[in-house]
Structure 1
Amino acid sequence: MPLYLVQEDQVEIGSVSRKTAAAFYRPQLDVVRFFAFLAVFIHHAIPRTGSGSARETFADSMGFGLCLFFVLSAYLITLLLTREHEATGSINMGAFYVRRILRIWPLYLLGLSIGVARAFHHSVLHEQKTWFIAALLFAGNLVIPGAILMSHLWSISIEEQFYLFFPASCRFFGLRGMLVIACILILLSNLTLIHLAHIQADPDVSIWFNSFVQFEMFATGILLALADRSLPRWSVPVSLFVVAACIGGWMLAAGHFHLKSMGSKADSAASLCSGYALVAIACGLLIVAFQQLPSPRPFIYFGRISYGLYVFHLPVLAAVTSHVHGLAGSALTLLLTFGVAAISYRYFETPFLRLKRRFERIETFAP
């Protein structure tokens, strides 16, 4: 069964004339999205004290689910831009940014509004306004958020920073330039890690929130997309083994290289660079492995609503765990988050997704 189908067709929708590959959709990648969210949820739901126990190391490592989101985002964007260039001979920058705005901004702004409303209700908006202003300008990772509801949306700032320059660079340098861009991003990331190690920056704050550090994940996604047609094909048992090995790699990065350890200081530059390279490689291998595995329908759906799951899980967690603690609180949080995300997807996000399809030059899955 092929992973992608390309059928050229000239289509006129609104003001966008395009040749389109009408059936570019991989349900396995929705499962990857859900896996990434589930990892982030575990990271946030399991309390940690910095004891260094196996349980806490596992919880720390699940934070790399966010890196998986970054790798997957760059992988998909690169695939779509490559196919758009092959089908039309160019990249429509205006259509790209309209699609990104319609997909990301509505739910993002809703999430920020929830955070502002809560801060106002608790009379702490004045103290938190700097972060909310930064987040509104997609610079939320540049201001250390602290204990602010919705502060996990700092990751959207890094996504938008990547989107700001990558499509323009592809259009200017061409498809071959994508490889150069990926190499430049990896170089910048490692130079930044060397500098941060020299000043003994906090791995879980200053290093983790740094745009250039996380750009290594986007570079990994770009390289993975460029090699897409020659990626290995594994059996299901081998793919499951790779998934388990990648989780082990995340735990090694958290436990040995201390990339997500609370209260620790940066190790050597070699340790930081090796640790983040390990995380990036593991994320790339997870995407390859999941594309060889079955895709259960519920997991596909959970992947489709994963943006809402990510946006809403922390406010739901805060509300639930103030009354219900332990495993019961985490389980209830997960169920309620699914419900809220499903409602958001059906009644809030879907109208914007339908509008977004008018600007697609490479058709993807219809909501």
Structure 2
Amino acid sequence: MNHLPGLDLLRALAIVWVMLFHSFLVGGLGADFAWLSRFGWAGVDIFFVLSGFLIGTQVLQQLRRSGTVSLGGFYARRAWRILPAFSAVLALYVFFPALREVPGLQPWWQFATFTMNLLIDYERNPAFSHAWSLCVEEHFYLVFPLLAWVLSRRASVPRFLAVCAAVVLGGVALRGATWLHFAAIDPPRNWFIEEIYYPTWMRLDGLLVGVMLASLRVYRPQGWERLQQHANAWLLGGALVCAVAFWLFRERTGLLANTLGWPVLSLGFGLLVFAGAGRRSLIGRWRVPGMAWLAAISYSLYLSHKIALHLVHMWLAPSLQGSRVLLFLSYALAVLLFGALLHYAVERPFLRWRDRRLGVPASSSSHAAAQCD
């Protein structure tokens, strides 16, 4: 897929938003700027829609060309893309407890097997808990190519739409029933995180919307192009749908948010991704300086930013309390430096090594981290 400034912008905004949300670990942004971080958790859902679209496009294009998917090649590319940087950060968390943003850490094997999001004791072991979303993505990588291949054997629009509707309605029903059950018994643990927010089967809406966009692009390219002619209208529509979703999420742990909120939010982000996946919209037409770089290192930033925040909080914050601006800049600089170090020292070399082995042209590997690679 060609380099798309709109998707770079969305990915960069998503990672910045997530990091702003996690600033609560170091005391937050203060009352005047709390609005910047209040909905920052939704940055993860932008990543889910992007992953569904980009990985979905990659898999579906292969299916359309050859009628099959090279599972070995797909899983190998995903492994070399994900595991090196993840393993490096996991090693830091396991072997250097002083780097953890909080003391408690789930057993290492739960991270290594990407089951942490299903087994976590959040009250006691919340360190590196943001890896939950990576677990969801890994489960998607594992299942989606197989499911796509099975559905392609007897492909039809009604069957595809029926599957999509079943996933959305099933998610609404499952989250609603789970919420009602645990709200009634109110166990002495963070059941919202453990039973609703983290489990993979509760968080399929964003990935599904991304896959639906990919299906439209691959199997109905003429329809895709016709819709892209009105990209700015879809961009505005996406912003309005997101506003409705954030209204639903005004009580983030409430029943309304965790039934209807997730599909509405995913739809809104899906419209933004659609607008950014071409060059006719405002976000798709213009390159915002620095966004492509932030997008390229976003994975490393996501993995490492809590360590960077913690180090500044422990080492520099006590001496900078008199200047909130300087303290904020110190946090931001540390996060960027730590993420860039992980990207250039670990993530990028392994991507280049992988691409040499697979014979990918050098010109296409430079943007691999920021797009569908």
Determine the structure 2 residue equivalent to 1:18: none
More helix by percentage: 2
Q: Does 1:310 align with 2:324?
A: no
Determine the structure 1 residue equivalent to 2:370: none
Amino acid at match of 2:290: P
Amino acid at match of 2:202: V
Deviation at 1:120, TM superposition (A): 7.3
Deviation at 1:59, TM superposition (A): 2.5
CA contact (8 A) 1:313 1:334 kept: no
Determine the structure 1 residue equivalent to 2:340: 342
Determine the structure 2 residue equivalent to 1:10: none
Q: 1:251 aligns with which of 246, 250, 260?
A: 246
CA contact (8 A) 1:111 1:150 kept: no
Deviation at 1:278, TM superposition (A): 1.8
CA contact (8 A) 1:317 1:330 kept: no
CA contact (8 A) 1:234 1:289 kept: no
Q: Does 1:188 align with 2:170?
A: yes
Q: 1:37 aligns with which of 11, 15, 29?
A: 15
Distance 1:331 1:206 in 2: 36
Q: Does 329-338 or 314-323 show the bigger shift?
A: 329-338
Scaled by the length of structure 2, what TM-score is found? Answer: 0.77
Q: Does 242-251 or 23-32 show the bigger shift?
A: 242-251
Q: Structure 2 vs 1, CA of residues 56 and 48 (structure 1 numbering), >3 Å: closer, same or farther? A: farther
Distance 1:145 1:362 in 2: 43
Q: Does 1:222 align with 2:211?
A: yes
Determine the structure 2 residue equivalent to 1:300: 292
Q: Does 198-207 or 166-175 show the bigger shift?
A: 198-207
Q: Does 1:111 align with 2:110?
A: no
What pairs with 1:74-89 in structure 2 (closer than 5 Å)?
A: 74-89=52-67
Q: Does 329-338 or 60-69 show the bigger shift?
A: 329-338
Amino acid at match of 2:228: R
Determine the structure 2 residue equivalent to 1:211: 200
Q: Does 1:289 align with 2:275?
A: yes
Distance 1:247 1:334 in 2: 27
Q: Does 1:275 align with 2:288?
A: no
Determine the structure 1 residue equivalent to 2:187: none
Q: Structure 2 vs 1, CA of residues 355 and 88 (structure 1 numbering), >3 Å: closer, same or farther? A: farther
What pairs with 1:1-367 in structure 2 (closer than 5 Å)?
A: 24-46=2-24, 56=34, 59-119=37-97, 128-130=105-107, 132-142=108-118, 143-146=120-123, 148-174=126-152, 176=155, 179=161, 181-201=163-183, 202-228=191-217, 229=221, 230-231=223-224, 232-233=227-228, 241-242=236-237, 244-245=239-240, 248-255=243-250, 258-259=251-252, 261=253, 266-267=254-255, 271-291=257-277, 292=281, 293=283, 294-322=286-314, 323-324=316-317, 326-357=324-355, 358-359=357-358, 365-367=364-366
Distance 1:87 1:198 in 2: 46
Unaligned runs of 5+ in 2: 184-190, 367-373
Distance 1:120 1:76 in 2: 37
Deviation at 1:364, TM superposition (A): 8.7
Scaled by the length of structure 1, what TM-score is found? Answer: 0.78
Amino acid at match of 2:258: L
Q: How many residues align?
A: 331
Distance 2:95 2:69 in 1: 39
Q: What is the aligned-residue identity percentage?
A: 22
